[in-house]
Structures are given as C-alpha cells and as structure tokens.
Amino acid sequence: MKIDVELKKERRTEPFDSDDPLTFASERTDHIFYLDGKVNPSGQVAWTNPRIEPYAEMKGIMPGAVVFHYGVEIFEGAKAFEHPDGDLYTFRLRENAERLNRSSAALCMPAIPVEDQLQAVNTLLDIDRLWSPRQEGASLYIRPAVIGVTDAMGITSGTDFRFMVFASAGGAYYAQGFNPITLLHSHDFKRAAPNNFGMSKAGGIYGLTVRHVLEAKKKAEKAGFNPNDVGQVLYSSVDGKFVEEAGAMNHYCVTKDGTIIIPEFTNTILDSITARSFIEEGENALGREVVQATIPLEDFFNVIKSGEVVEAGGLGTAAVVSPVGTYLVDQGEGDLEELVVGDGGVGPVTQQMYDWLTGVQTGKVEAPEDWLQKVPRTA
C-alpha cells in the first residue's frame, strides 16, 4: 500500500518530555490515517486512497451517512510504548487488527487486510513518534475505527466505508496510583443480548453504557454510598445468571489458592487481548493457573462472602489491570448489599499481574514471542 503523506505545517519537533502528570490518552498527535472502502454490486471491496494528513475535523462525509443514524461504526484500542532503547513498540497489534475485522463482520462491514492495518498504524506512529510521552507508565493509545459513510435513509451498512487511525499521548491510567474501584451490579443494566454484537467493539454498545454508569452512581448515592467510588458496572448475562464484563473490561477473580478465573468468551463478552495475555502466559510468567469458566452470578457473590475469592478486577488495554475492592449488589427497593473482596485493597496476585504485563509492555520484562513489534523508522 502506497500511503500519501501530507505533513502538518507546525508539527512536534521536540521529544515529549513532561513532568506534569498527563491524563490517559489526553493529547492527540499531529496526524491521522484514512483509507476509503467501496463494495461493488458483486460484493467485492476495494480499499483505496490511503493517506496521512494533519489531525483535523473530518471532511467529505454527508449528514445522511449511516454512521450518524444507525451506528454503523466499530473501533479498536491498542497501545505503543517507548522502550529504554528509544524505539516505539506496539503490543499485540495484529490481534487488534484481526478483532477489528471480526467487529466489522458483525455490522456487515467489509474486512481490511491485516497487513494494511499494521502498515497504517506503523506509518502513523513513525511520523508522530516524537509524541510518545517520556513519563513513567505513559504510552501512545492507538484508536483505529471503521465507519459507514453511505448517504442512505434505509437501514443498511451501505457500500462506502472509511477506516481511520489516530493516536493519543497520555500518562498512566492510574494518575493517583493503583487503587481499587467499586463495581455495582444491577439487573437493571444489561450490556449485550446473545447473538448480537456483544463480542465486537461496536460503538453503539459503549454509548449505551454511559447511562448505566450514571444510574449506578445515583443508586449508590441514594443508598448512602459515595457515588464517586463507583467506577463501572458489573454486567451479568441478560438472563441474570452469569458474570460477564466489568464495564469496558473483562472480569477476573482470584481464589484463595491463587487461581485466576476469567469468564469464558461468549458472543456477549469481548475477547480481550489483555485477558488472553494472562490466559496464554499466566502459568509461565506468574506461576499461576489461569482458567476460563462460566461463572454463576449468585455463586460469585457467595464466594466473595465466604472468603473463597480473595481478589477481583477488570482487564483491558486502557487500565491493564483494575482491582475491585468492593461490589455493590442491587437487591431492589433501593437496597445495595456491600461485598468487600478480601481486605478491600490491592491483592498480591493483582499486583503481580499488573507488574508483569506493564513490565512486558515497557520492555522491562522479557516478552513472549511476537507480542511486541518495533515501529520501523522510515520517516
């Protein structure tokens, strides 16, 4: 793929050295990558016009584009880290590219060759590499997305698509340190019905969850808890029987014997690359058993109470590992039961998980083969 590049006139010329704590993914880099897709009447797709241009308002999309009306959009989230050798490394990016195509398929959008996606990200990061923040725990957060741009009022994914990739510089997710959050569970909040697109990163799902978090905070406040402690919602399956996701993260818990348990990936749970990293390498790297299982919701709450489960949390690209200290469980009629996990603090397994994965990502701990790819220097 030959990418046309139009550089921003006033782009970053100095390394991003900052002592001010940066919030997560807060600063857009100078450029954005675009690729246009068109599906012909026989269903073949042509991806054309690969280009990098200054990051700015998007042009050339009609107000009737299906992305604005029917949520024809999917996205990804990946990270790149500057290592002590001064080079930038992406973390398991190929897996994000493959998942992007699975998400696209769920919304009847065409796949983009994985090699083209990788080239797009690498070229963009190479051009914007000075944006990589030099700060403990900092990274470049990479946001690929695909949108449907056909101007159509009938409900369709259309024939025209745009792939984009932009990046943001930001500090560690935990600016105030690695503190446990509270997850609120209520049967009032459901994320994904079976056989739809719960296993994909369709933007529509995330729009829906905004209201859940706000309402969860209100429930907490009404019941006399601090609403600011409620970070996310613990989602259970639509039938209310099983543990699914920790907001926009996979969920994990740790039993007394140190086994890490992650819900089995189903079509209502995202196949998380962070979770997979522990599933694939946890035993080697942490000396701990990592299993996937179907986790009955009521059993889960009971084993927290009995002390059988001693740690829990969420797993995802943004936060890596997010410890949960407390669950608030909606019992109806405004009543929330408070369940404290272990001693409510950051447990040793959680700390070990966090230290290992962030160590791998930042080049301080040896990485499993193919997990890190150096961004080639061509610009």
Question: Which residues sit at the interface with ligand PLP, rule CB under 6 A?
Answer: 77, 245, 248-250, 270, 272-274, 315-317
* CB-nearer residue toward ligand PLP: 158 or 247: 247
CB of 262 to ligand PLP, least distance (A): 10
Q: Which is nearer to ligand PLP, 10 or 370 (CB)?
A: 370
With a CB cutoff of 8 Å and minimum separation 6, the contacts of 93 are: 78, 80, 118, 121, 142, 373
Tokens at 120, concatenated = 């797009």
Angle at 303 between CA 300 and CA 309, to 5 degrees: 95
3-state secondary structure 10-25: CCCCCCEECCCCCCCC
For residue 304, give every residue at least 6 positions away whose Cβ sits within 8 Å of its Cβ, in sequence order, or none.
312, 327, 339, 340, 341
Q: Smallest distance from the beta carbon of 188 to ligand PLP, in angstroms? A: 18
Q: Round to whole Å and give the CA distance between 174 and 50.
A: 36
Element spanning 273, H or E: helix 273-286
35 or 269, CB closer to ligand PLP? 269
Q: Are 183 and 227 in contact (CB under 8 A)?
A: no
Least gap, CB of 1 to ligand PLP (angstroms): 25
Provide the 3-class DSSP secondary structure of residue 332: coil
- Nearest-approach distance from CB 300 to ligand PLP, in angstroms: 17
Pairing verdict, β 290-293 and 260-263: parallel
Name the minimum Å distance from CB 199 to ligand PLP.
9
Contact (Cβ atoms closer than 8 angstroms) between residue 70 and residue 109: no
> Contact 214/186 with Cβ under 8 angstroms?
no
Residue with Cβ nearer ligand PLP (152 or 233): 233
Pick 245 or 330: Cβ nearer ligand PLP: 245
CB closer to ligand PLP out of 18 and 196? 196
| Shortest distance in whole angstroms from residue 224 CB to ligand PLP | 29
Q: Closer CB to ligand PLP, residue 77 or residue 258?
A: 77
CB of 41 to ligand PLP, least distance (A): 35
